[in-house]
Amino acid sequence: MTRRTLKTAATLGRKTMETAMAAPQVVAHRVGRMATAGANPSRRDQREFVGMVAEKQQAFVQSWMAMATESLRLQQQIWSSLWTVGLTPWPRKQAASLTAARRMQSAAVSIAEKGLTPVHRKAVSNAKRLSKAKR
C-alpha cells in the first residue's frame, strides 16, 4: 500500500472506532429520553425526535453521494491504469499490473472513508451535544 492509502486506511479505522463509540451513547440517551417523555413529549423532545429521523436521512444521502462521487473519480483512474496495462510491453506488464491492483485497493479504502465521513460527523457531534444536554 502507498503511504497515502495507509493514511486513508488509518483515518477510516479511527472514524469507524469513534462512530462505534458515539452511536451507542446517542441511542442510549435518546431511548432514555423517549422513555422519560412518555406519551406527551415536550416541544424540546419533539424537536429532538423529529431531528433524529431527518439527520439520519441527511447523513445517508450525503454518504451515498460522497461514495458515488468518489467511485466515479476513481473509476477513471482505474480505467486508465488498466488501459496502460494493456498497452504495456510484455517485460514490464507485471509492474503495470501491480500498479493497477494497488489503485483498486486504494480505491476501496477511499470510497469507504468518504462514505463513513458524514455518518461519523453526525454521530460524534450528537454524542458531544447530548452529553452536555439537560435531561
CA 34 to chain centre: 28
pLDDT at 60: 95
How do the pLDDT tens digits run along the chain, 135 residues long? 678 888 999 999 999 999 999 999 999 999 999 999 989 999 999 999 999 999 999 999 999 999 999 999 998 888 887 777 777 777 777 777 777 788 888 889 999 999 999 999 999 999 999 998 765
pLDDT at 26: 95
Alpha-carbon Rg for the chain, nearest whole angstrom, is 21
Stated pTM of the model: 0.78
pLDDT at 68: 96
Residue 31, Cβ neighbours under 10 Å: how many?
A: 10
pLDDT at 32: 93
Cell 447523513 sits on residue: 59
**To 10 degrees, what angle do helices 93-132 and 43-87 make?**
170
